[in-house]
């Protein structure tokens, strides 16, 4: 019973996540389609030549649309430039941090090496002390036996 409720909750959550993804994809598709419409509508603009001039005439609505899109394009390019600078700075910081991490890993490795050597020396000393105290204990037993104190 409890397992089935857990499975139901899991499937419900998965379904909710998939619906959310579908909605996100739907909005992305809509944006892309709107961009296509904008490009198509721009391609359909007819510019008529003005006689004896290098200028062309377009409908007011088309001119306004082109003007708005040009402003948006300039703004987007500025944002893109700022974002690119931020990405470049982030990449430099990442490279610096990776180098620092590698340096710290090397230091840790050195410390571990020194620590293991110190630990080995400490264990050697403890072992020597134990062996010495063991020999002393044996010697005392032998002395007691020889003296008949046992």
pLDDT digits (tens, 9 = 90+) for 60-101: 888 888 888 888 888 888 888 888 888 889 889 998 998 888
Q: What is the pLDDT of residue 130?
A: 81
CA distance 125 to 123: 5
Instruction: Please state, as a whole number, how many other Cβ atoms lie within 10 Å of the Cβ of residue 1.
Output: 5
Task: Identify the pLDDT of residue 15.
Answer: 74
Confidence class for position 39, pLDDT limits 50, 70, 90: low
**Residue 91 and residue 94: Cα distance in Å, rounded?**
5
What confidence score (pLDDT) does residue 33 get?
62
Rounded distance between C-alpha atoms, residue 63 and residue 66, angstroms: 5
Categorise residue 52: left if φ over 0, alpha if ψ from -120 to 50, beta otherwise. left
Q: Residue 31 to residues 34, 35, 70, 136: CA-CA distances in angstroms?
A: 5, 6, 18, 89
């Amino acid at each position: 019973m409890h397992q089935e409720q857990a499975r139901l909750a899991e499937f419900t959550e998965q379904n909710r996540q998939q619906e959310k993804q579908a909605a996100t994809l739907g909005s992305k598709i809509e944006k892309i389609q709107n961009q296509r419409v904008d490009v198509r509508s721009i391609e359909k603009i007819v510019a008529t030549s003005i006689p004896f001039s290098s200028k062309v005439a377009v409908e007011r609505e088309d001119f306004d649309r082109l003007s708005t899109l040009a402003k948006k394009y300039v703004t987007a390019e500025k944002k893109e430039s700022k974002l690119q600078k931020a990405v470049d700075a982030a990449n430099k910081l990442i490279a610096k941090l990776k180098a620092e991490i590698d340096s710290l890993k090397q230091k840790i490795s050195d410390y571990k090496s020194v620590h293991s050597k110190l630990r080995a020396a400490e264990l050697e000393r403890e072992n020597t002390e134990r062996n010495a105290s063991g020999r002393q204990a044996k010697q005392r037993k032998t002395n007691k036996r020889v003296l008949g104190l046992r």
